[in-house]
Chain A
Amino acid sequence: MANISKTLESLEMQTTLVKKQPSSLKLNFLKEIGSNKRARYSLFFLLLVILIGVFAPLLAPHDPEKPYYEALLHGPSKEHLLGTDSIGRDLLSRLLYGIRATLTAASIAVAITFTIGTFIGLISAYIGGIIDNILMRIMDVLLALPTIVLALAIVAILGPSLANAMIAVGFASIPGFARITRGAALTIKSSGFVEASRSIGSSHSWILLRQFLPNIGGVLLVYTTLFIGVAILDTAALSFIGLGAQPPTPEWGTMLAEGKNYIYQAWWLATFPGLAITSVVFSVNFLGDALRDMFDPKSMGR
């Protein structure tokens, strides 16, 4: 063996490396998030929001469900920084506690979408043929309905509650996610390295887990992040029309719905929950966009 490598070393001039620095996916990733302004700020903001949600009992100035009857529909003041609602509950406290319900609902919904959507998409792309056709026609039928209408239908069957709302939103987003996964996986399916992997004796599950998933992982992560934004909006929307979180649970969508009745008397009631939803969804989308730029393996180390 030794003599081969020696003879070949002399021939090595042509086959040189393009770049020299060794790279590691994880290290690079953290570094890039740190160096990408949009990603850094939005990630920072989201972490802050999550922390506030976790420590809401310590941070909130009042009990979110305790009515102050002497201060109905009071505007922002020293006592109630963001004002009070129609039965005198402190809006700031409700907003802080609302982070919990809102973000949990969105994450669970996205977890449902991700698991089932990825599974359907991968299976559909990998097996192909009749299975692919059947699965994708079902997805097409579901896609024909807007997500929110589908979620409405599901929640109407299950009954209105926050748990059912997140299940409904999760399931309603599956068709879109499965389609994206399938599309991404199809480009992998026809690539040379899958054939090469088969030629060294890989099993189907191995190919799916080791060849497909890492390759479409970036795409999936990006879309998952973007779906979080959609899921927050959709659960809030369901709560807004009274099918999600039930009062008195503080949830942004529900609060928005309560606020709209007093939009002329008490502008703060609808404005602050609306702003909260907007800013979180915005930063989630920013993060998703930045991740998409980052996750092209060819741009790594550049």
Chain B
Amino acid sequence: MEYLLEVKGLTTQFNSKKGPLTVVDHVDFNVKKGEVMGIVGESGCGKSVTSLSILQLLDKAGEIKDGQILFKNINLLKKKEKEMRIIRGKEISMIFQDPMSSLNPVLTIGRQIAEIMEKHEKLPKPMVKKKVISLLNTVGIPRASEIYEEYPHRLSGGMKQRVMIAMAIACNPSLLIADEPTTALDVTIQAQILELLRSLKDELGMSILLITHDLGVVAEMCDRIVVMYAGQVVETADTRTLLRHPKHPYTNGLIQSQPHQSKGERRLKSIPGQVPTPDKFGAGCRFAERCENVMEICSSASPPLVSIDGQSSCRCWLYSDKEEMTI
């Protein structure tokens, strides 16, 4: 199978006063061509840091310690900053959680999108303007030629996110990293944006790495899912398997925590406790404290990520004796 993106053993540390904190710990996953891959987890699980690591956009405190990021079989971590700049935006682009702050307030919408094209494709100016307007049409912005001259504060949140998407797909990237693209938007707009992303994916043939904490979004969008907990991958599976037959107790807990009308229960279930901070990771399973099925071994040794049937994998002592270890 040809992978567009393969992340192998990615380890990212942040330097703190108490010493280095491993925020992303040996994360492995891959994205196939034309597929939507979801990364799910609570806040503070390392989802965003993982995505920033792929583009090497971490600020000074963060450092990629180990691992490989193979994009089209080339290790991005071996690239120089200058070479990465060519990849960012052209090969891999990213949309962020908050469209309100992701646009420069003093530049017109048109200018901001045109900049990317001028940078990566070196087109003559009149052509750029034409292309930008057609891009704005593509992402469903009405009266695109008027919006071209408009400043960001005159657009609504949904419109801004559409502009961000237009910027992200301006150079036909093969991978789009969407870091919680709908979190800051209200529900009806969320659906529209997801719909837009899906149809763009089909038309442009790109892959999407969708980072979210919303299982509803995942169920709607993704082909496969990686569940992250405390900086580690705890389960990987295709969407259907993962949602119907979750293996890891954490995944199970997440699904249980979704509100459900038909159940008729008065209280929403939740996973007790909180994600441990990186300085409190113990020797055992990081989920042990919150786990319903906690066993004796859980607190003393960390379970390996084991492959279940070639397709999915799970990091839990409940399954680790059944199959051979992958790590």
Contacts and interface: CB of A to CB of B under 8 A. Distances in A.
Interface of A: 1, 4-5, 7-9, 11-12, 14-20, 22-25, 128-129, 191-193, 195-203, 206, 210-211, 214-215, 217-218, 297-298, 300-301
A199 B89 contact: yes
B192 A17 contact: no
A202 B88 CA distance: 8
B284 interface: no
The SS class assigned to the A binding surface is helix
A204 to B, nearest CB: 9
A223 to B, nearest CB: 17
The 10 nearest A-B residue pairs measured at CB: A8-B140, A200-B89, A192-B101, A15-B158, A201-B88, A192-B102, A201-B89, A201-B85, A199-B94, A196-B102
Interface string B132-174: 0010011110110011011101111011001010011000000
Residue of A8, A200, A210, A211 ringed by the most chain B CB atoms within 10 A: A200
Interface string B19-38: 00000000000000000000
B42 interface: no
Nearest to B116: A200
Contact of B155 (A17, A201, A300): A17
Contacts of B85: 201-203
Contacts of B98: 192
B224 interface: no
A66 to B, nearest CB: 53
Contact of A12 (B57, B101, B140, B153): B140
Nearest to B91: A201
Given A192-B102, A214-B107, A217-B106, A23 B88 contact: no
B57 A199 contact: yes
Interface stretch (B195-203, B207-215, B248-256, B275-283): B195-203
Contacts of B238: none
Contacts of A7: 195, 199
A149 B98 CA distance: 48
Contacts of B134: 1
Contacts of B271: none
Residue of B104, B138, B155, B196 ringed by the most chain A CB atoms within 10 A: B104
B119 A200 contact: yes
Contact of A8 (B86, B88, B155, B196): B196
B102 A15 contact: no
Given A24-B149, A199-B94, A200-B167, 12 more contacts: A1-B138, A5-B140, A9-B140, A15-B192, A17-B156, A128-B60, A191-B101, A192-B102, A193-B102, A195-B57, A203-B85, A210-B115
Given A8-B140, A199-B93, A200-B93, A18 B104 contact: no
A215 B86 CA distance: 25
B156 A214 contact: no
Nearest to A215: B106
